[in-house]
Every structure is written in structure tokens, then in C-alpha cells.
Amino acid sequence: MLSLIELERAVEALRLARAGARLDKCTMPAADELVLELSGGGDRRRGDKLRVLLSCRQGFARLSSLEVAKKALDRPPAFGQYLRAHLQGSRFLGADLRGDDRQAVLHFEGKEGRLDLLLSIMGARSNLYLLDQSGLLLAAARPLADTRRDLSLGDPWIDPEPRGKKPAEDRFADVATPDLLAAIERQYALAESSEHDDRERRRITRALGRARAGIEKKIRRLDEDLAAAARASEHEQKGELLKASLGSVAKKATETVAVHFETGEEVRIALDPKKSPTQNMEEYFRRARKAQRKGEKASVERGDKQARLEEMDALIAELEACASADEIAAFAERPEVARLVGRYAPERAETGSAAAPRKVWKLGKRELPTRLVPKRYAGTAGLEIWVGKNDEGNDILTTRLARGRDLFFHLEGNPGSHVVLRVEGPGDPPHEALIDAAELSVHFSKARNSSKASVHVAHIKDVSKPSGAKPGLVYVHRGRTIQLRRSPERMKRLLESRIEE
């Protein structure tokens, strides 16, 4: 922030240089920054312009001038809209300090009379205010609840309680008055840039850390599945022992004892009294098959997750090696990094800026829960590819969300997610878009590790669900088969094209 003496000198520099100038434009590059474009003033011609920056940003509040214009918010905040309507086009009369605190007041005269723009530099409570000629508070850049709870719009302005004066440092003592506003901006812009780089590094670090923690959590769950799979042989053995001694098991028994085939030792077998001996035997065989399936799946997935964990560690190491702002910016622009940051550490939208609309998924008036919303990927020619997350989500995607001309992809004899290519327009989609969707259908199936695959594709109108069929089961009536040769590069591109909600 500017000290009192620095602010006093900045106000004097602005008054001497631009008294009498016309305010051509008011813009807000951010919710806490206001740029006034003044033309003429003093002994300058009308075409001689000065861009004055008034910032109430915490830690960087200042009055300065810009050499290069800042891009304004697409949708200005209410404060910016009010200034454009009531202040733009007025004449700059001059500027001075108000009271003994860091409050700079810029005076303007327009069709509505005199208006005062007040920059209050008060640390975390810095703000910009607009007052009318009678001293009524008309508007504020930041919420009054965050800066001055004792004020209300439409009420008279009240100066804050004076604070004890501290020795003021003038960091720009060697700068001549005409060059002061530009010198202030150069120093603060450099400090803001450095702070932004540090903040960006922290944000990327946070995103990569969260992504890594998510992978570790999945690996722990897979290890639990592998541990459970180790008991498959135990379930299988108990099933076989029950099978050999069904005739001796009493009905509604909670336990039976059988002799091990090889060791001759007695083995106690827990039973469900609500089930018959045969049903208990079948239950042990079912548990053995389930544990074995989970173990096989977990073994494959754990290898993938471990490789992903190593990739994440490599990204973290690369970030730590970035020494300059340009290196951090280049690292952040990489598709994989940008996707992770957007998912795990999205930047808050600037107040007043138009936030990206959230896609709401509905069936009738009911909004779909996240677990039923399909994953979305950007394929060739901008066509989206939707992938179901689970059996229920597969049903909703294929039977409720997809349209008749959309294309359905699946592998015969290999269970997996339903994959739908969204078709736009009357023509056929590009062949590359079909290959993209086929690639995803293999990736999200039990054949994900195969190098070649036969993928069946059909229009959604040729896909039906039998009445009473289990979730995820559909019948495909027509279509054709694509012989796919897997491409790691294509797969990497598709996964990085994930469209985050």
C-alpha cells in the first residue's frame, strides 16, 4: 500500500497534470481496480490521454498511471456500471487528501453536478466509494460489510476514526513529480506479478497434491480388494467341504464341522440358518468367484494406478524445478496440468465477471445426481463423447439422454461403460470421431489392455432395453464393426480432453 506521504505526492502529481481533463471512459479490469481514461487537462491537448489506476486490492492499494491498457471485465460489476452511467463524460476538477488518513478524493463535475470518487487505503478494508456533492454515499466497489459496517448506501459519508500517525516512508523520494504515477505502477505491477506467480505455483501444487492423494486412496482400496481376493481359496475350500458333507448338515444350523481332505483336520464352517445346506454351499462358491473377479480386476487396475502415481510424482518434480514465471506459465498451460488444476483447484471467478454456466443434467424436472451424469470428452471435430459411470448411469445415458442419431459403441463379450458419440447436423460424423469413441469404449471396458479390438457401433435408435433386464443390459439390433488398432497417443489426447463440469 502507499504510505500517507506517497499518496499525498501522487494526488498532487495527478492534480497538477490533469486538472480540467475530460473523463472519457471508466473500466474495471477487476472487482478491486478502476481505470479512468482522462484526455487533455492542464496545458495538454484533447488527444493526450492518461490512464489513471485506482486500486483497493489488499496489499497493493494505490493511485498510479498505466502505460498499457488493462483488459476490462466482460461484465463490469455494479460499481463500474454505476460510474459509466453517472461519472463518465464529466470534467476532472482536481484531487486532494481527505482528513489526516490515506483517503484520496478525485473531484468531477458533470450533468448531475459534482461527484467525488474516494480511494480509501486501509489495508484489508481498502475500498472505492462514490459520493455526491452533499456527501451522501452513492456506491462502493467492495461490499460495505467488508470495509465499513458503519456506513449504508444513501446515508451521509462519515470519515473513519483517525489512527495514530506513524513515521511515513517515501520510497519514491528520488522520482520527479511528473514521473511519479508511472513509477508507482511499475513497482506495484512487479510486486503483483511476483505474488501472482507464487499464488499460481501454490495453486498448481495444491491441485497435483489433491490428484495424487486421490490416486493413493484408490490404490489403498485396490489393495483391500487384493487382500480379500486372497481369501477366495478359503471360500472355495469351504464350499467343497460342504459339498462333500451336505447330507450330514442339520437344517437351520449356524455351524458345521468338516474334515479337511488332505490334512484330516477339522474345519469349522459358519452357516446362515435361513438358508439350506445347498444354498450355503452355493454362497461360499459365489463368494469365491466374486473375490477372484475382484482380485483379477484390482491387479490390473493397481498397475495402472501405480503408473499414474509415478506420472504425478514426475509432474510434481517438474513443477519444483520451474524457476521462473515463464516456466510456471508454460507448465500450467500443458493440457494435463490445466485439466488437473481446473478439477482440483479451480480459480474463483472474479466478482463481476461472467462465470462459465454450469451444465445442469435433468430428467424431466429432476436434476441428475453426479454419479449418474456421464463423463464428457471432446472428440474430433468438436463432437462430444459421453461415457456412463456405472450400470444405472449407462441405462440413463443410452435410453434417456442420447438422441436417436447419436452413435452407441460397445465390445461384444466385454462388459464396460456405455459410450455415446453425440452427432451434430444431418451428415455422418468424421471417421476420426468414430475412432475416438471406439478408443474410449475399449478403455472403459475389461479389454482396456488389449492392443486390438472389434468395436460394434450402432445408432441409438437401434438400441433397446428389454423389459425387466438388469441395469446396463441393452440389445443392439443393427450396426457395423470397427476394427480398432489401439493408439496410446490418441488415448492420452482423449483423456486430457475431459470436459469438467
Tell me the pLDDT tens digit for each residue of 136-149: 999 999 999 999 99
In a domain, 419, yes or no: yes
> Cα separation of 139 and 135, whole Å?
12
How does DSSP assign 395-457, residue by residue? Answer: HHIIIIIS-TTSEEEEETT--B--EEEPP-SSSPPPHHHHHHHHHHHHHTBTTTT-SEEEEEE
Q: What is the pLDDT of residue 166?
A: 59
DSSP letter for 101, please. S
300 and 384 within one domain? no
Q: What is the pLDDT of residue 348?
A: 62
Average pLDDT estimate for 155-173: 81
pLDDT band at 176, cuts 50/70/90? very high
pLDDT score, position 80: 93
Residue range 199-213: mean pLDDT, rounded: 93
The answer to whether residue 65 scores a pLDDT higher than 90 is yes
What local confidence, expressed as pLDDT, does residue 294 receive?
Answer: 82
CB atoms under 10 Å from CB of 64, counted, come to 23
Q: Residues 232, 298: contact at Cβ < 8 Å? A: no
154 and 254 co-located in one domain: no
With CA atoms as reference, report the closest residue to 261 among 244, 247, 248, 277.
244
pLDDT exceeds cutoff 70 at 62: yes
| 359 falls within a domain | no
As a whole number, the mean pLDDT across the chain is 89
The pLDDT of residue 354 is: 43
- Would the pLDDT of 168 be above 90? no
* pLDDT at residue 157, as a whole number: 94
Residue 356 lies in a domain: no
| Residue owning grid cell 465477471 | 353
Considering the domain architecture, whether residues 325 and 410 belong to the same structural domain is answered as: no
So what's the pLDDT on residue 139?
A: 95
Let me know whether 79 and 124 are in one domain. yes
308 and 427 in a common domain: no
pLDDT of residue 359 exceeding 90: no
Q: Are residues 8 and 140 in the same domain?
A: yes
How high is the pLDDT of residue 469? 87
pLDDT of residue 24: 94
Q: What span, in angstroms and rounded, lies between the C-alpha atoms of 243 and 237?
A: 10
Does the predicted TM-score (pTM) go above 0.85?
no
Same domain, residue pair 391 and 436: yes
Q: Sort strands 375-378 and 103-110 into parallel, antiparallel or unpaired.
A: unpaired
Neighbours of 100 (CB within 10 A): 11
Taking the CA atoms of 354, 359, 362 and 366 in sequence, report the sign of the dihedral they define: negative
Asked if the structure places residue 277 within a domain, the reply is: yes
| Confidence (pLDDT) at 296 | 83
Beta bridge partners of 482: 455
The pLDDT value recorded for residue 230 is: 79
The pLDDT assigned to 353 comes to 42
- Give the whole-angstrom CA distance, residue 15 versus residue 388: 64
**pLDDT recorded at residue 357:** 52
Assigned domain for 358 exists: no
- Number of folded domains in the chain? 3
- Percent with pLDDT over 90 in the chain: 62
Q: Is the pLDDT of residue 386 over 90?
A: yes
pLDDT score of 358: 58
336's enclosing H/E stretch is helix 335-344
Neighbours of 444 (CB within 10 A): 19
Q: Residue 87 above 90 pLDDT?
A: yes
- pLDDT of amino acid 164: 57
pLDDT of residue 456 exceeding 80:
yes
Distance in angstroms (rounded) separating the CA atoms of residues 374 and 370: 8
Q: What is the pLDDT of residue 56?
A: 95
Among residues 344, 378, 395, the one where a domain terminates is: 344
Residues 445 and 397 in one domain: yes
Whether 311 and 370 map to the same domain: the answer is no
Domain carrying residue 419: 366-496
- Do 160 and 268 fall within a single domain? no
pLDDT at residue 67, rounded to an integer: 93
CA angle at residue 499 from 497 to 500, to 5 degrees? 130
On whether both 202 and 163 belong to a single domain, the answer is no
How high is the pLDDT of residue 165? 60
Q: Which among 344, 376, 406 is the end of a domain? A: 344
Q: Is residue 353 part of a domain?
A: no
Residues 208 and 169 in one domain: no
Q: Residue 278: inside a domain, yes or no?
A: yes
CATH of the domain at 59: 2.30.310.10
Report the phi/psi class of residue 94: left, alpha or beta, with left for phi > 0 and alpha for psi in -120 to 50: left
| 133 is a domain residue | yes
Backbone angles phi, psi at 95, to 5 degrees: -150, 155
pLDDT 10s digits, 301-354: 888 899 999 999 999 999 999 988 889 989 999 988 998 998 888 876 544 444
- Does position 495 have pLDDT exceeding 50, yes or no? yes
Spell out where 62-164 has E strands: 62-66, 91-97, 103-110, 113-120, 127-132, 137-140
